[in-house]
Amino acid sequence: MKAIVRRSYGSESELQLEELPDPTPGKGEVVVRVHAAGLDRGAWHLMTGTPYLARLAFGLRKPRDPQLGMDAAGIVESVGDGVTRLTVGDRVFGTVRGAFAELAVGAEEKLRPIPPGMSFTQAAAAITSAITALDALRGRVTSGTRVLVIGAGGGVGHFAVQVAAAAGARVTAATSAPEFVASLGAGLHVIDYRTAPLVGEFDVVLDIGGRRPVAELRALLAPRGTLVFIGGEGGGALVGGMQRQLVFAPLSRQRFVTLLSLNTPAAIEELASLLAKGTVVPRVERTYPLGDAAAAMLQVSSGSVRGKLVLVPDAN
Ligand SMILES: NC(=O)c1ccc[n+]([C@@H]2O[C@H](COP(=O)([O-])OP(=O)(O)OC[C@H]3O[C@@H](n4cnc5c(N)ncnc54)[C@H](OP(=O)(O)O)[C@@H]3O)[C@@H](O)[C@H]2O)c1
């Protein structure tokens, strides 16, 4: 099979399309013929090996796994021992190892049937980014909750806006792509952060992009509001600026949450249900052939993607 491979950390120029042996499924695993693989900032961080702290988990001097990508949609090609729910030929989406390839292995429990009528491309676009949005908002929004999403036009942001609005929240979306974000749903209050200041009081603030000073974010937060740190690029090579999230405010009733989103089986199940109901609709700016992964990754690193980018192996 063909797969995107990199042998060392670095820029997108490290990415090569190579021929690798076809994978075989282990116990409880299936092999998926990948028809679409979602890209996001996480894949970019694994490619560059930044922040360096991440190398403790993924290989200190070089990546332990030369392959990349974890969001895939495709057709089950073979099943391992102990697989009970999925069979060969099923259309599935979810989390796998080495999604940027023609074939990838994933645990059965992290794969679900693609909702009827949904394309491989849309399903692959929805996985990690949408689950991050769900994790950030779960238990925090209800009818009338005032939610501010900072960085609403990207992968996580465009899902967060939809999830919050579906829960009945009053959503303010800060973005450099006001027309795109306004098209995500009726009743959104959209602010172009390039030309207008962020003002107001919010029960929940999602800090996805921009790395604004914590004092500025706290000034936007209601006295009992919750600030969820999700991401933000350019925070330093060692820890990615995570020190910004160590807020010391012992007398405050405001809450500060550092999100670590994981694609658990329950979260993938929840996502499949929301996609089937049309509660969230993935928006894909562009697809790239698998062999153009480097160009796709370059676009991810620009931070200007509206919605998601997807690699399509069959386009080769
Ligand atoms: N904590 C977790 O578990 C977790 C999980 C997934 C991702 N993340 C992190 O979350 C972040 C977003 O990921 P993503 O995949 O959604 O990336 P993305 O698609 O590149 O989106 C990032 C967004 O940041 C916004 N942004 C950039 N500069 C900004 C500024 N000055 N002010 C406000 N917003 C600004 C942009 O929003 P507009 O286009 O609207 O301008 C951009 O679309 C990344 O840092 C990623 O590493 C964290």
- pLDDT one-digit tens code per residue, 103-137: 999 999 999 999 999 999 999 999 999 999 999 99
pTM here is 0.97
In CATH, the number for domain 129-258 is: 3.40.50.720
Chain segment 149-183, per-residue pLDDT in tens: 999 999 999 999 999 999 999 999 999 999 999 99
Does the pLDDT of residue 261 top 60, yes or no? yes
Q: What is the mean pLDDT of residues 53-57?
A: 90
CA 1 / ligand 1 centre spacing (Å)? 32
311, 120 contact by CB (below 8 A): no
β 29-39/16-19 pair status: unpaired
**With left for phi above 0 and alpha for psi between -120 and 50, is residue 144 left, alpha or beta?**
left
CA 129 / ligand 1 centre spacing (Å)? 10
Angle, vertex CA 66, rays to CA 130 and CA 282, nearest 5: 15
Sequence ranges of the domains in the chain: 2-126+282-315, 129-258
The pLDDT score that the predictor gives to residue 269 is: 97
CA 156 / ligand 1 centre spacing (Å)? 7
In SS3 terms, the chain reads as CEEEECCCCCCHHHCEEEECCCCCCCCCEEEEEEEEEEECHHHHHHHHCCCHHHHHHHCCCCCCCCECCCEEEEEEEEECCCCCCCCCCCEEEEECECCCECEEEEEHHHEEECCCCCCHHHHHHCHHHHHHHHHHHCCCCCCCCEEEEECCCCHHHHHHHHHHHHCCCEEEEEECCHHHHHCCCCCCEEEECCCCCCCCCEEEEEECCCCCCHHHHHHCEEEEEEEEECCCCCCCCCCCCHHHHCCCCCCCCCEEEECCCCCCHHHHHHHHHHHHHCCCCCCEEEEEEHHHHHHHHHHHHHCCCCCEEEEEHHHC
* Best CA proximity match to 38, nearest among 127, 108, 152, 154: 127
pLDDT band at residue 242 using 50, 70 and 90 as cut-offs? confident
Does the pLDDT of residue 316 top 60, yes or no? no
d(CA 63, CA 54): 10
Query: Around 102, how many Cα atoms within 13 Å sit in the side-chain half-sphere?
Result: 12
312, β-bridge pairs = 289
In CATH, the number for domain 2-126+282-315 is: 3.90.180.10
Chain segment 262-314, per-residue pLDDT in tens: 999 999 999 999 999 999 999 999 999 999 999 999 999 999 999 999 999 98
Q: CB of 151 closer than 6 A to ligand 1?
A: yes
Does the pLDDT of residue 240 top 80, yes or no? no
Q: To test ligand 1's pocket by mutation, which of 70, 162, 230, 298 has the most ligand atoms within 8 angstroms of CB?
A: 230
> Which ligand 1 atom is the nearest neighbour of the CA of 229?
1
The dihedral through the CA atoms of 103, 105, 108, 111 has a sign that is negative
The pLDDT score that the predictor gives to residue 53 is: 87
CA 234 / ligand 1 centre spacing (Å)? 11
The pLDDT score that the predictor gives to residue 124 is: 98
Q: CB of 48 closer than 6 A to ligand 1?
A: no
Does the pLDDT of residue 241 top 90, yes or no? no
Angle, vertex CA 150, rays to CA 264 and CA 43, nearest 5: 45
Minimal-distance CA residue to ligand 1 atom 32:
210
The pLDDT score that the predictor gives to residue 168 is: 97
pLDDT band at residue 99 using 50, 70 and 90 as cut-offs? very high
